[in-house]
Amino acid sequence: MQWKKTQTGFYHDGKLYPFSDAVDFLRFPILTPVEKFRLGTTILRASRLKDWRSIENVTVEEWLTGLSGSGVFNKIWRPLLRAKLGEEYKTTAATFLWATIQRLYAARNTGMKEELFGYLPGGYAAMLAKFEDALTSLGVTLRKSAKVQSIRRNEGGLCIHFAGGERVPFQRVIVTAPSAIAAQVCEGLADEEKEKHRKIEYLGIICASVLTKSRISNYYVTNILDETIPFTGLIEMSALVDASELKGHGLFYIPRYLRPDHADFARSDEDLQSEMLRSLKRMHPHLKDDDVVAFRISRARHVFPRPTLGYSTKVPAVDTTVPGLSIVNSAHVINGTLNANETIALATKEALRIHSKAN
């Protein structure tokens, strides 16, 4: 892992503002001094709150307006929440933001004086290739790009039916696909179990990866307060990773979170690209069309299980009523944020528990 200090920016009313340290915060022109004080105390109070259950049935809007006042809510929190959650922010629990603030503070609690971001040279692809080598050498069979159509129980045990017709028997199956998909592919679940999985409300994502001739900014994260920009934020990897990794190119991601049934999932790549580029050029007027070396769009409809009110009471059990079948996914991360650390911690805990139960 490589660790680096990064910079953050805010885009508001046609301008980019740095927001990386105390000096930037004091100079930040969007909030009055009283609003800055209220924003600071909100973050401090959220970082000190340990009893998340006390806010699990409060909407994030109610909670933040109470702590920060409506000025800070309308200028900062609402645009940020809308960018990430769309109109669904109105029914999202306060624990969503509490968990985000807790995660940011966790780095400080480790004793580090400053926040550092870590990246793995070569990215996830390098890590997955190592995993593949290690698992294959242990005799594990990996089937990649294999779509599971259904999982059924028969006299002999469980059987996975793959798209293409192949059927493979197993004694135990642990499904880690999102709940909406698990409910579709797992046959024989009780109606209430299926319903619990179907009721987990997901946000999907359309995310562009853009390679440019050179870096476009110094900000790893640019938060967007302008509600006419059609994406959540701008994540510039080239402001984080060493320039040699990308041979001097700029690489950034343009995420946009949407409900799984949003009509934009059906829009063509060309259409989305021209809309995103238009907004990007508004934010970075020096960027020209021929600076773009590659532009790729990915879509996933079920990515982020949104913490709704009383979320912890709605999560389905990991072990199902079908013998040998368990379902565990990021919907089981209760009062945490969606990130690789939480996912790996959950997977480790559940794998050990399921293994020891079976033996």
Please name the amino acid found at residue 206: I
Q: Token pair 């109109």 is at which residue?
A: 87
The DSSP symbol for 239 reads G
Residue 124 contacts residue 135 (beta carbons within 8 Å): no
Nearer to ligand FAD, 72 or 237 (CB): 237
Number of H helices, E strands in the chain: 11, 14
Select from 10-18, 79-87, 280-288, 340-348 the region that touches ligand FAD (CB under 6 A).
340-348
| Interaction of residue 185 with ligand FAD, rule CB under 6 A | yes
Dihedral of CA 180/183/185/186: which sign? positive
Nearer to ligand FAD, 317 or 344 (CB): 344
Which stretches of the chain are DSSP H helices?
22-27, 33-48, 60-68, 70-72, 78-85, 95-109, 123-137, 179-185, 191-198, 269-283, 340-358
Could you give the 3-state DSSP secondary structure of residue 114?
coil
Q: How many residues bind ligand FAD (CB under 6 A)?
A: 17
Alpha carbon 63 to its chain centroid, in Å, reads 22
Q: Could you say which of 20, 57, 100, 339 contacts ligand FAD (CB under 6 A)? A: 339
What's the closest the beta carbon of residue 63 comes to ligand FAD, in angstroms? 24
Q: How far apart are CA 1 and CA 9, in angstroms?
A: 24
Task: State in angstroms the smallest separation of the CB of 89 from ligand FAD.
Answer: 17
CB of 302 to ligand FAD, least distance (A): 7
Q: Does 69 bind ligand FAD (CB under 6 A)?
A: no
Among 105, 269, 343, 350, binds ligand FAD (CB under 6 A): 343
What is the DSSP code (8-state) at residue 55?
G
Query: In the range 186-215, which residues lie near ligand FAD by CB under 6 A?
Result: 205, 207
Nearer to ligand FAD, 63 or 257 (CB): 257
**How many residues in total does the chain contain?**
359
Question: Is residue 222 within the footprint of ligand FAD (CB under 6 A)?
Answer: no
Half-sphere exposure of 307 (CA within 13 A, CB side): 26
Site string for ligand FAD, 255-274 (x = CB under 6 A): x-------------------
| Least spacing, CB of residue 178 vs ligand FAD, in Å | 6
Position 240 contacts ligand FAD (CB under 6 A):
no
CB of 147 to ligand FAD, least distance (A): 4
Q: Which of 3, 87, 340, 359 binds ligand FAD (CB under 6 A)?
A: 340
Q: Is 100 in the site for ligand FAD (CB under 6 A)?
A: no
Using alpha carbons, select from 10, 4, 49 the residue that is nearest to residue 27.
10
Residues near ligand FAD (CB under 6 A): 147-148, 176-177, 181, 185, 205, 207, 255, 303, 329-330, 338-341, 343
